[in-house]
């Protein structure tokens, strides 16, 4: 877009606080109650903010009302977060619902309509039987031509994996190494669903879900909520001495069905979103210190490395094998544990990626802190890449 040229590297909005619930399996807890936990975390981090006075709109992502048989998520969350009567917007883009909420939050502030907004996301999943969860998540793909013909969500990503193996020689071991790395990171994140190290053998010997993907190649079904407070950049210092600026944002769409695409080894919407965000931010892939990427399945993280330009096309497997995406690597990827170990409450995931980047760029990431991280990136994919969203942040 034309605006790219005039605002390269300029803050679009500032993140002045962020909050996240513990991620995990919480019986007898509702989504809105998890959202309260996230909101309280954000409020406590930002004592200068008076939520009722300052926050002018809430934009919240959620994938499916099927989980709790509860729709009208916007006001539900505003109500429990003590924010009524402000206006609310719910965004839905499958697993990238709250990355789109972040985008809408950017629009809301940049339009000049609101100085301060809350964006976030939520999903409560674990009370449902796995078969129900699988069915609801599969709605993000092309029902009449994929699920109806026998495809599952892991099955579709498995086909991307098989195509990648065939074209580039990517191995099951390289995919497993993504899981080992992200579990290692998750073990250092007190809010992660699974804070447990795994070894390569565990991952490779776990049962097959959809060849070549095994149980440890799949992310977790998780409950969780997350939120961020955005302000106009000019007033960020009123609220905090350590804001994080969003300096680039991109989004793209692709065919709803994977089966229609000529290229089955990468996800173009993620690549195009990245290119737009890099252009707007005026940064290059080599400038990125920390990145939270969409590892719903291990192959998706390998594909993301390539789509984001962290390595050449086809070399994603080698990048993880060479240890270049660990905390001390060339680019630290999924320091939170990623969707793989931190968990994947689908509607909350995009916001939770931004939360981790916010922690990293404000030196709040504890044991998993990447020293001196200046530039952080989030990469969130909806469905089989029919939506891709990339946001780039800079230490304030």
Catalytic site includes residue 185 = no
- Least distance in Å: CB of 266 to other proteins? 13
* Residue 378 main-chain phi, psi, to 5 deg: -120, 140
358 within 8 A of 243, measured Cβ to Cβ:
no
Active-site choice (185, 294, 344, 379): 344
Interaxial angle between packed helices 298-307 and 268-281, expressed in degrees from 0 to 180 and rounded to the nearest 10: 40
Q: Which is nearer to other proteins, 212 or 382 (CB)?
A: 212
- Least distance in Å: CB of 339 to other proteins? 18
Distance (Å, rounded) from C-alpha 284 to C-alpha 239? 30
Catalytic site includes residue 245 = no
In 10 A of CB 364, how many CB atoms? 13
Distance (Å, rounded) from C-alpha 260 to C-alpha 138? 17
| Integer CA distances (angstroms), 41 to 113, 206, 227, 314, in order | 26, 36, 9, 40
- Least distance in Å: CB of 214 to other proteins? 9
Q: Which is nearer to other proteins, 36 or 139 (CB)?
A: 139
- Least distance in Å: CB of 211 to other proteins? 4
Surface-to-core class of residue 27, CB atoms within 10 Å of its CB (0-12 exposed, 13-18 middle, 19+ buried): exposed
**Residue 54, token pair as written in the block:** 């300052």
Identify which of 313, 338, 314 has the alpha carbon closest to the alpha carbon of residue 325: 338
Residues near other proteins (CB under 8 A) are 131-132, 134-135, 138, 144-152, 154-156, 158-163, 166, 207-213, 257-261, 264
Rounded to a whole number of angstroms, the distance between the first and last alpha carbons of the chain is 25
**Residue 84, token pair as written in the block:** 């009524």
Q: Which is nearer to other proteins, 150 or 190 (CB)?
A: 150
Q: Which is nearer to other proteins, 89 or 264 (CB)?
A: 264
Distance (Å, rounded) from C-alpha 56 to C-alpha 85? 9
Distance (Å, rounded) from C-alpha 45 to C-alpha 59? 20
Walk across the sheet containing 332-333 and list its strands: 88-91, 58-61, 116-123, 224-231, 13-20, 244-253, 387-395, 375-382, 290-292, 332-333
Active-site choice (95, 141, 218, 227): 95
120 within 8 A of 18, measured Cβ to Cβ:
no
Q: Which residues have a Cβ under 8 Å from the Cβ of 157 and sit 6 or more positions away?
A: 210, 213, 296, 297, 299, 300, 384
Residues serving a catalytic function are 95, 344
């Amino acid at each position: 877009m034309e605006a790219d040229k005039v605002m390269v590297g300029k803050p679009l909005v500032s993140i002045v606080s962020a909050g996240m619930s513990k991620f995990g399996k919480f019986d007898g807890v509702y989504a809105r109650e998890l959202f309260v936990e996230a909101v309280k975390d954000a409020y406590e981090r930002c004592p200068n903010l008076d939520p009722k006075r300052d926050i002018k709109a809430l934009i919240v992502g959620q994938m499916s009302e099927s989980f709790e048989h509860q729709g009208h998520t916007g006001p539900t969350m505003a109500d429990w977060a003590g924010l009524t009567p402000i206006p609310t917007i719910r965004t839905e883009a499958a697993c990238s619902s709250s990355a789109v909420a972040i985008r809408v939050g950017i629009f809301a502030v940049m339009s000049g309509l609101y100085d301060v907004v809350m964006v976030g996301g939520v999903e409560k999943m674990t009370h449902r039987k796995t078969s129900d969860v699988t069915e609801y998540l599969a709605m993000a793909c092309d029902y009449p031509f994929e699920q109806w013909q026998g495809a599952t969500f892991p099955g579709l990503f498995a086909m991307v994996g098989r195509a990648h193996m065939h074209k580039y020689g990517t191995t099951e071991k390289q995919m497993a190494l993504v899981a080992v790395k992200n579990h290692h990171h998750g073990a250092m994140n007190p809010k992660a669903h699974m804070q447990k190290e795994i070894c390569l053998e565990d991952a490779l010997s776990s049962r097959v879900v959809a060849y070549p993907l095994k149980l440890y190649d799949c992310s977790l079904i998780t409950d969780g909520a997350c939120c961020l407070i955005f302000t106009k950049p000019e007033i960020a210092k009123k609220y905090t001495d350590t804001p994080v600026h969003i300096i680039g944002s991109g989004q793209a769409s692709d065919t709803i069905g994977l089966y229609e695409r000529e290229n089955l080894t990468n996800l173009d919407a993620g690549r195009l979103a990245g290119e737009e965000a890099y252009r707007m931010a005026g940064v290059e892939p080599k400038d990125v210190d920390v990145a939270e990427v969409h590892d719903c399945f291990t192959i998706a993280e390998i594909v993301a490395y390539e789509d984001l330009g962290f390595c050449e096309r086809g070399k994603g497997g080698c990048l993880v094998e060479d240890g270049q995406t660990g905390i001390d690597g060339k680019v630290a990827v999924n320091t939170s544990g990623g969707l793989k170990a931190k968990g994947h409450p689908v509607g909350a995931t995009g916001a939770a990626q931004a939360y981790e980047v916010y922690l990293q760029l404000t030196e709040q990431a504890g044991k998993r802190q990447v020293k001196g991280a200046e530039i952080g990136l989030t990469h969130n994919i909806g469905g089989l890449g029919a939506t891709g969203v990339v946001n780039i942040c800079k230490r304030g």
